[in-house]
Structure 1
Amino acid sequence: MKSLPRVKPISLARHGIDRDYLTRGSDGDLSEVWASGAVAVFEHRGSLLVAAGGLFLGDREQVPEGQTEIYLGRDAAATRYIGVSLDDAGRSHLDSALEASRARDASDLLTAPGDGLDSSEPVWLPLRQLAESLDDVQVSLACEVVGVGNWHRAHQYSPRTGTPTEPALGGWVRRDPETGSEHFPRTDPAVIVVIVNTDDDGVERVLLGNNAAWEADRYSLLAGFVEPGETLERAVIREIWEEAHLEVTDPQYLGSQPWPFPCSLMLGFSAEAPSREFAADRTEIATLRWFTREELRDAIAAKTVRAPSTVSIAGQLLHSWLDNA
């Protein structure tokens, strides 16, 4: 197969924030950061509050009590950002306050409301829908607050004692008040692979799989989590054998992308398949298909196959192969 280029940092892999970890503080109190003129961005269960083409930026007075605050860092203009991960009661409180504020502001009556990200009024949208619309700074903020917010929701108790933990270090640690043990956000590495077979005539084919939980026309690259004590390259070989009973060789790293749904880091690879003989595991993967470039383009155009978009590294890798004729 022809070597594929490294994946460019697009979509969720873009970066525009200095995480400024030295000024996070030693505990969960962000008073000094707030006092520096920091602004808030709001997250609730993977969705973000947006308005007027970007993240809605609030102030400290708009943050409901008892919510998880995370210092996200600063941009090139030295503006500091605090992510606020809302629980259900916190979101309800904020929504009510914003609605009351709009009701008092007669100027809203003169403004076209817009739709989605361009709405003049704050609305909640999922991160996946925003990934290619936000600028580098805001997509960095969004990935941080969604990823760390997910972790806070899932790790409120000490795994050692069962005691409720408390946020510390600017929201980047949870501390057990009884033992003093500290618990940090986790990231689960997963490999995702462009598998290519080249026949005797030099024609390349890519292998795509239909997950057992998906609609029958949806296909993507094969992927799986890295296991303890395993290299990334061995994870590629093992996962493809487990899901497709297909041997692959020469795994080549092509790039990565955060995938905070809830806490993954996707590590993109290519690999060569000497044979096109496979057997779907029927547990995770319902069906597998080989496609030439022409066959895949035709199937996508005819809408008989839904391939991943470039929001995800799966789509970026697949389109890189399609364009690498």
Structure 2
Amino acid sequence: MASAHFRAMAKPELKILLAAPRGFCAGVVRAIDIVERALEIYGAPVYVRHEIVHNKFVVDDLKSKGAIFVDELDEIPPGDHPVIFSAHGVPKAVPAEAQRRAMFQIDATCPLVTKVHMEAQRHFEQGLEIILIGHKGHPEVIGTMGQLPPGAVSLIETVEDAEAVPVRDPSKLAFVTQTTLSVDDTRDVIVALQKRFPAIKGPTREDICYATTNRQEAVKSIAAGIDALVVVGAPNSSNSKRLVEVGVKSGCPIGLLVQRATDLDWAQLQGLKVMGLSAGASAPEVLVNEIIDAFRAHYEVTVEKVVLREENVSFKLPRELRPAAAPAA
């Protein structure tokens, strides 16, 4: 009788498919390293314009070490403390204003975002009107559009936008894209643009960043065989939201985006047999482990790693932060 009672109380079994690659990309690692290295070399405070990356846990950790996050430059008091620009990039007017104020500025823009900025600048210098595929209001989109004069860039988000966007001269067009979009959705928009404007020029290599592509493909590889997908990431993280969308479109019945284990909706997560778990490019692995631990309280969990491919990309720190930049003792 006692053994039957034990079986009745036993937790149900759950297999968690841990998708890889997931979590931090090279651009995020570089951005966080920039803030931490600046604090080591120059001391606190270090000022950061906007969230260095879209993750509250990461931002709060950097705050505890002496970073101060501001919305605009005029919130920063006079002095020689570093001012860091976020990984998403900023309009040209921001570093110009920092220079006017004689601020010590350090640019943490992801090199892959900088590549898009340079593409847009090159197209503009060639006399082309530029169409940007991206999400209105996203910091990366604001930064990219801010590389050029007002009116030089038209923003579109959907296939319908591509079919309706007004242009001055269909023979003098180019497009660039936000780096953190869904590969599939972007492809559909590009096809619509190319159908309408056969002469439109695109990037020599796809603008969608390698990390975005890898994380989406890893989620696709497990989506059809799972009962639910949990993605660790912030609600304002474009690449994290796209991971959830990709999972659902690829056959997963439930997709949830959570910042922490406390955000898990257990009413939606009952009766699972197999669950997928991934993380956006600005979510640290410690939060992935926190999610797994939370599931252990409800299920008898086994974890299976599903590795689509390995990533070995890294980006150099700015010159100001390399070891030789450290002040002499």
Same fold (TM over 0.5): no
Q: Which has the higher strand share?
A: 1
Q: Which is helix-richer, 1 or 2?
A: 2
Greater relative contact order (Cα < 8 A, sep 6+): 2
Q: With structure 2 as the length reference, what TM-score do the two structures score?
A: 0.23
